[in-house]
Structure 1
Amino acid sequence: MSEQVHTIHIRKLKHEAYERFWNLRRYYNASSWADLIDKITKEYVKQIEEFDWI
């Protein structure tokens, strides 16, 4: 199976949501939208794993 590239259609977002995505991208120091999603997903997985220890 070939690797697929996923895109985020940010142009159709409301202005507030668009600004939040850009702020998140700066916060995570992400080089692209895909990198941002990857970093958020990894952080989420890390938090779930830490929660399992409780």
Structure 2
Amino acid sequence: MTIVIKKGDTKEEVEKLLLKLNKSFKKKKSLWNVYGKNTIEGDALEIQKKLRDEWD
């Protein structure tokens, strides 16, 4: 969606246009919400080895 703000627009008109823009955005999912945070402590290579051993 494109919003055109003209030089002579008042603050109220600009605010209305910006509100329309904010309403048009959908809430995006972040990777943190989908996958969660890493709760395993340790070195990244150690974690990778542990996970690989679990699959075997």
TM-score (norm 1): 0.34
- Compare the two structures and name the one with the higher helix fraction: 1
Structure showing greater radius of gyration is 2
TM-score (norm 2): 0.33
